Chains A and B, each alone.
Chain A
């Protein structure tokens, strides 16, 4: 759950009273754009991406324009711009026109959670505007603080002093940066990053203005909903399948999914975070989805989840894999009944799929669950192998891969005939 850019960043920052430039959306009139350019004799045009997308400047996707015609040309170029980020190709969904802020200093500021100290922390440098990974450690500082008292002015003073920051920027930053803590703490952030904060000189004084915004929210903290952001900005990077499953998400978990390969040939139900990690790794690109349905889901939920999974993935799959370790708490009978009732109903609706079912599992009511599943598979005449927890889980997954390889080869031969 990430957002980047000033389209949503500017209104969020305004809630804390942190200064932001004027930002116009793609539907701004020529008159409005002209006025924005006129204000500083230039303005910045940026593409709008959903999700946590960075490195736009490096990719040449940020334009500084001096006239409306240049602004319109930039809009034309950037409105549907494509950007590669973290091995993903992402397309822009519009542009923003942002007020240009002249500055002598660029600040990087990040509020986060530090797993080393297990506390809230901030990272700060006055050598911002660049990739901070490229900065030597002496030019950047990271400090943890007590979440019960929050980020205080003295944290900022101490940090900037340690960095030997110019004294002219210390006071304005001490005045404004702590404001961000309230925003971070009250609206469910896990990360809040401003880079750059440009220090604008007004008269003899400097004022910080946030010129880019990056945020990550904690989906387990409902406070992010207070921002009333349009839901599509979080759902845009979800597939239809993921979005449908996501509707079943509760605090008990049991419905985490991600699409691995839309053309995969093994569809798996993974139970538990460990099985999820291990199985996804072994299956690699053969997996249609990665999932974690652990946490003892009730029957109805398991049935609904399985129905959705089958609807999207069963037809293309050679192998249906159900994998987990020796469950501690998940009732194997309940979960298997949910899945195999859904399979039976899928077959009633769509006919028998050409699949091989492989399952490895342990836990409460194991044999009751296995036998229930075997009943249905026998009736449907779908082949299967069920392994207990005395077979290596990884070997079971590998067996599913081997079956898939065999079936892929068989299908290829059939086509070539």
Chain B
């Protein structure tokens, strides 16, 4: 027979806090396999020694696995009743279904004692109805919007996730009972109390909807009857008169309560609100705001709020605190007043202890400069584990049309790679951009000679690769097609495998040695011992390349302890491939800072030899005469070894033009390569590579995918512009396009071309032609509509070159031409010269001397232009490949069937 206490005008079943979450409670969870319950219930079940007898998942049956055994799951409650007995229902259903579940529980289980409703955002109407029917059925209810109830003595948690995934941390046995309007704060307060040496008896997350089913009055009544509980802590928010009701009952002796209480009321600011934020019921109406509640408690406690500076100013009835952080010291103060002992020795404190942090360039005042401290156990171990992990990590996702490498700035329309606009990248040599596209940082100037040596060393291909290209070309393969053949043959060759092994080993070594930056010395002997296990010794002696590199690197020792260790190690040990080990060391050294800052993944760094090896070899194989070019021959033979220090931009230049560069040509060439580096992730060249990655191919196959997705359609506007310019300049004798003839001649030429074009256009219109040739590389769909228009990308590079004192007659002509076109009436405003013109005028300028000497023909110019595009885009594509490797998923480039169309 259920008992009703006469203190209350309504039913209260729980007479003692020991009955809130007793050891023998048996539970049935409604919606047990729902998102929240299936994570929380196993933890509760295991913590409580297996108190969940069954669960209901409408329409489904099965089990819910837990660490201490499976919980059976039934499709409806009627079946649970046939097999199990329980006295507690826990509801995880969506709000609209809660009332139904309550009635179901009451209908089938006449011995039900309590219901915990975890669901939030229930309607007030349903809560009122639940109140009425549970009252008439004499069942106690916690919630809605409750995180459940817990008993630290019984080690039982019922309902929600009170204490999270580690309930044993919060439900620590002690003498304090907590009633909290916030589930989170119930947990937090329990954690805070430990710092003053207090544990808990019972924690109740009451929920803070408009209707609180198990209110403060019922809680105080049960706490009074609980011998374990010496004091209570109440966390109170605005809205409702539950507290006033309870305190009036005590005052009027309708409720006996003589234990001390520590109360925290928050939410003064909420008096300004007209709608709820956070807890639905924490909205003050008339006279039930935070300030009113503070007064109710202060009147009851006959004390003003707790002052942490004067901890002795507390009463035996307890005290109100202004902030939850004062709860532990206030409880301690009240206990001291009553000459009671705390439950155990204090654990930790609440002072500010940053577990992680960096100030970068911020120079905070001393008072705010908090040093990072070791986190408490077990979090310190987790942080150490994290700190040992080099490089950033990414959540994998579908990367079909996504990129973490490139994008087009919607405002400027400029393509960017890792937030660097390509127009900024024109300032960097090719070798620097090759590294940047992989490690997101440009190598330091002093590192470039080493980068060049590595690239040149890795650029060597065996004869068979050249033969394959030759056969392809003889069969009329396009340049990309021929290169694809060679790239495909690279596979995942032994150089790539060993290179990866070396870099991986070095990174493991640095992790083991807990190297935080490369400038701090570490124990070389200890590191050598680890290295011997990571890098099996071989028989190869050091060749000329190794000797040259060691000699050069000796000068770098003072700047990097990674290099210092590597030189120390190879001095005393023979390796399988010393040259590759040195390259691995140089790459590791260059990429280490970016790794520490988690800017790049460890996987990308491990693959650096593969990436740069492929790119270096393509750069040479793509050449128009690679086997006969003097420089390339020497580099291939690696004789003299110093030739390997040639800047790789020059190597690529000679590969493309088969001659040494003149004057400013290298700067112009590197600009061309940078400008074609990327045009965003949507380009078919990038998609070819990404699709190959998504099919889980070797890196070289992804480059082959890029090659297969390029073709003569690329650079169309550039070819047309070269044609157009050659025609325009056929009467003007230009021997050096870098020298500008007098302005009048250029202007006169542009006027003539404009008039000719006007006549051509008028004639075409008179003949009724709707389609006629446009002048290439002028005007732009975005940069238009002003009296004078400018493409900011073109404008930036134009002025950059002007600063470098690099002139280009074709470029000047284009600038004049847009004015002439406006002047003669072809255009209604001055068109911009667009970015394609930049590529065309620089390409033509570089090819002009050979064209004038008949060393190359118009058809060759198209091929050279295309190869330049391939080399530039190759570096950008390497970024897309490494990005997709880091972030993508298998087959993520597949087009969903719903997007496919069958065309008749």
Contacts and interface: CB of A to CB of B under 8 A. Distances in A.
Interface of A: 1-2, 51-52, 86-87, 113, 115-120, 133, 146-148, 185, 188, 190, 218-223, 237, 250-253, 256-258, 260, 270-278, 280-282, 284, 290-292, 294-296, 324-329, 337, 341, 348, 356, 362-364, 366-368, 370-372, 374-379, 381-396, 399, 402-403, 406
Contact of B185 (A87, A115, A325, A368): A325
Contacts of B772: none
B36 A329 contact: yes
Given A274-B185, A274-B235, A371-B383, A399 B352 contact: yes
Nearest to B598: A375
B191 interface: yes
B824 interface: no
A387 B352 CA distance: 7
Contacts of B185: 272, 274-275, 325
Interface of B: 10, 36, 39-40, 94-96, 119-126, 128-129, 131-133, 147, 160-165, 170, 180-185, 187-188, 191-192, 195, 208, 210-213, 215, 235, 237, 239-242, 244-245, 266-270, 272-280, 282, 286, 288, 323-325, 348-362, 364-365, 367-368, 370, 375-376, 379, 382-383, 386, 392-393, 395, 407, 419, 597-599
A26 to B, nearest CB: 24
A148 B133 contact: yes
Contacts of B120: 251-253, 295
Contacts of B124: 113, 190, 218, 220-221
A113 B393 CA distance: 52
B191 A386 contact: no
22 contacts: A86-B274, A115-B239, A118-B128, A220-B123, A274-B184, A274-B237, A277-B182, A280-B269, A292-B278, A324-B184, A328-B147, A328-B161, A328-B187, A329-B40, A329-B160, A362-B191, A363-B164, A374-B358, A386-B355, A386-B357, A391-B350, A394-B324
A367 B393 contact: no
A375 B392 contact: yes
A274 B392 contact: no
B210 A348 contact: no
Contacts of B239: 115
A96 B607 CA distance: 74
Contact of B241 (A116, A329, A370): A116
Query: What are the 4 tightest A-B residue pairs by CB atom distance, in nearest-first order?
Result: A274-B182, A325-B188, A221-B123, A274-B185
A118 B213 contact: yes
B210 A115 contact: yes
B211 A329 contact: no
A395 B325 contact: yes
A84 to B, nearest CB: 13
A274 B181 contact: yes
Given A274-B181, A275-B184, 11 more contacts: A115-B211, A119-B128, A133-B286, A274-B180, A290-B278, A326-B170, A327-B184, A383-B359, A386-B357, A390-B350, A391-B351
Contacts of A2: 274
Contact of A1 (B213, B275, B349, B359): B275
Contacts of B375: 367, 388, 390
Given A148-B132, A375-B393, A383-B362, A394 B325 contact: yes
A364 B323 contact: no
Given A276-B278, A329-B161, A394 B323 contact: yes
A141 to B, nearest CB: 16
A22 B706 CA distance: 75
A328 B183 contact: yes
A351 to B, nearest CB: 9
A364 B274 contact: no
Nearest to A352: B419
Contacts of A118: 10, 128, 131, 211-213, 215
B191 A326 contact: yes
A35 B436 CA distance: 81
Contacts of B96: 251
Given A295-B120, A392-B192, A327 B395 contact: no
A201 to B, nearest CB: 33
Nearest to A332: B164
Contacts of A258: 273, 275, 277
Contact of A348 (B165, B180, B419): B419
A48 B325 CA distance: 46
B282 A273 contact: yes
A406 B362 CA distance: 11
A372 B778 CA distance: 46
A87 B272 CA distance: 7
A119 B353 contact: no
A133 B393 CA distance: 61
A379 B597 contact: yes
A316 to B, nearest CB: 18
Given A113-B211, A256-B276, A395-B352, A147 B386 contact: no
B188 A385 contact: no
B360 A272 contact: no
Contacts of A52: 274
A85 to B, nearest CB: 10
Given A256-B276, A273-B282, A281-B269, A387 B354 contact: yes
Contacts of A290: 269, 277-278
A216 to B, nearest CB: 9
A378 B188 contact: no
Nearest to A298: B35
A341 B36 CA distance: 24
A113 B160 contact: no
B387 to A, nearest CB: 9
A384 B357 contact: yes
B394 to A, nearest CB: 9
Q: Which of B125, B278, B359 has the most CB of A within 10 A?
A: B278
B138 to A, nearest CB: 15
Nearest to A238: B275
A402 B370 CA distance: 12
Given A190-B124, A220-B123, A251-B121, A395 B351 contact: yes
Given A118-B10, A276-B277, A327-B164, A294 B352 contact: no
A356 B363 CA distance: 12
Contact of A251 (B95, B212, B267, B597): B95
Contacts of A218: 123-125
Nearest to A398: B352
A120 to B, nearest CB: 6
Contact of B165 (A364, A372, A383): A364
Contacts of B383: 367, 370-371
A393 B185 CA distance: 10
Given A273-B278, A406-B365, A383 B132 contact: no
Given A220-B95, A252-B120, A273 B208 contact: yes
A220 B280 contact: yes
Given A386-B354, A388-B375, A328 B288 contact: no
Contact of A390 (B126, B128, B356, B376): B376
Contacts of B191: 326, 362, 389-390
A141 B726 CA distance: 99
A252 B185 CA distance: 19
A257 B164 contact: no
Nearest to B129: A147
B645 to A, nearest CB: 33
Nearest to A112: B285
B48 to A, nearest CB: 15
Contact of B125 (A221, A379, A395, A403): A221
Contact of B184 (A294, A364, A383): A294
A146 B164 contact: no
Nearest to B132: A148
B129 A148 contact: yes
Contact of A382 (B180, B325, B349, B360): B360
A290 B269 CA distance: 10
Contacts of A147: 125, 128-129, 132
A391 B160 contact: no
